[in-house]
Amino acid sequence: MGHQEHQHKTDPKFPKGFLWGASTSAYQVEGGIENNDWAKAAREGKFPVAGISCDQYHRYEEDFAIAQSLGHNAHRLSIEWARIEPNEGEFDEKEIEHYRLILVSLQKHGLEPFVNLWHYTVPIWFAEMGGFEHPDASKIFARYMAYVMTRLGGEATFWLTLNEPMVFASAAYLRGKWPPFKKNFFKFIKIQSCLVSAHNLAYEMTKKISPHTQIGIAKNNIYFASDGRWWNDLAKLFMDWFWNERFLNAIDAHQDFIGLNHYFYQKFGKKEKLPQSDRGWDIFPEAIYHCLLELKRYRKPIYVSEHGIADEADTQRGEFIKNYLCYIKKAIDEGIDVRGYFYWSLIDNFELEEGYTKKFGLVTFDPVTQARTIRPSAFTYKEIIENQSA
Ligand code: BGC
């Protein structure tokens, strides 16, 4: 490794104003949500139970204070649709007030809010009418977003409509692992256009209500590579288009920034043996650099809206964050407009179909006492952030 690259590795300096934070989602951290499709599936024994999780619904002040103490200046979270609209067309002002207090608390702790409107879960009534497959789904989703924007639009600049639509489409409609547990290629394709319409309409309505807002989605992009054999090159090109680009192309006129969620590296052909996380996912820091370069074509600001590792022992996380950040910096040096980084996750949480068995948090918690403990890697991340102003 050359001297310059070594400098990168130890001391990446990011542009002024760069946002540093962590990310969560409502159902994974809030606790006490019983009226969405995931909670229903858990009652039916199809899933682990989320229960009270780390009870962030009540402990957000404490958690935001921790984030602030760790040097963060931004935070991404989501609003639970089922809380806001528990029955079709019936909106709960108390819950709106709850989220307003959350946004006020973020500001108080110096954390720029990134607010996500949908992170996989939907109210049971919406699931029962067919979810995003329903012909009026985009109108129903946009109505929910418009309602939230009317009440809370002034409290935050950055809003995300959807989290990882392609991951949802494949887990819920192809692999049959998430509600509504379907395995149907035709529906897998169809649901993607439904989500595009939902996003585009929500974007248009939101811009009318709160023109100052910046709106995007969080898109899970994978670094696809090939061993150089022509058929593997073709597979790579196809997947770049099919998984990474197609959805973003379809919403291109309706996004102000791109949220990149990055976790995966997939190589067609013979793959090197790589270190892995507790989830069995390969660790390959260079992957994020390639994903960022691929986004250049959209000419939009990019925020890394999620990136993280399951590492209960916390032996890999610090280096993991550092090494990936070096590659993010390399992309910035090559002209990619990356403006923020949100580690997934601030705190251990309900890891979807894995329940509480996988630990992504900078912070862990005791499920009985709810006491928070900051992991050492959180201080590694803090040091990187603090070095920026040194
Ligand atoms: C999702 C999170 C999830 C994380 C780790 C992301 O794709 O947005 O909800 O916890 O992956 O699996």
Domain at 342, CATH number: 3.20.20.80
Question: Quick one: DSSP state of residue 270?
Answer: S
Nearest CA to ligand 1 atom 5: 351
Residue 9 has pLDDT above 70, yes or no: no
Beta bridge partners of 260: 219, 304
Confidence band of 389 (pLDDT split at 50, 70, 90):
confident
% of the chain exceeding 70 in pLDDT: 97
Residues 6+ apart with CB under 8 A from 301: 256, 257, 258, 337, 338, 339
Angle at 113 between CA 220 and CA 348, to 5 degrees: 60
Q: Which amino acid is at 31?
A: G
Which pLDDT score is estimated for 7? 42
Minimum-distance ligand 1 atom for the alpha carbon of 218 = 8
Q: Which of 1-10, 25-34, 301-310 has the lowest mean pLDDT?
A: 1-10
pLDDT tens-digit readout, 158-191: 999 999 999 999 999 999 999 999 999 999 999 9
Residue 130 DSSP SS3:
coil
Cα 308 to ligand 1 centroid, rounded to whole Å: 9
Which residue range forms the structural domain that includes residue 338? 2-389
Mean pLDDT along residues 27-51 = 98
Residue 215 has pLDDT above 50, yes or no: yes
pLDDT tens-digit readout, 238-270: 999 999 999 999 999 999 999 999 999 999 999
Residue 335 has pLDDT above 70, yes or no: yes
Residue 6 has pLDDT above 80, yes or no: no
Residues 6+ apart with CB under 8 A from 166: 192, 219, 220, 243, 247
368: tokens are: 């009985």
Cα 286 to ligand 1 centroid, rounded to whole Å: 20
Cα 143 to ligand 1 centroid, rounded to whole Å: 26
Measured CA to CA, the distance from residue 100 to residue 155 in angstroms comes to 7
Task: Report CA-CA distances (Å) from 297 to 21, 236, 237, 291, 336.
Answer: 26, 18, 15, 12, 10
184: tokens are: 């149907």
Q: Which residues contact ligand 1 via a Cβ below 6 A?
A: 25, 28, 163-164, 167, 220, 261, 263, 306, 344, 351-352
Which pLDDT score is estimated for 11? 61
Residue 8 has pLDDT above 70, yes or no: no
Measured CA to CA, the distance from residue 370 to residue 386 in angstroms comes to 28
Cα 47 to ligand 1 centroid, rounded to whole Å: 16
Which pLDDT score is estimated for 201? 98
Report how many domains make up the chain.
Answer: 1
Quick check: 195 and 169 in contact, CB under 8 A? Answer: yes
pTM metric for this prediction: 0.96
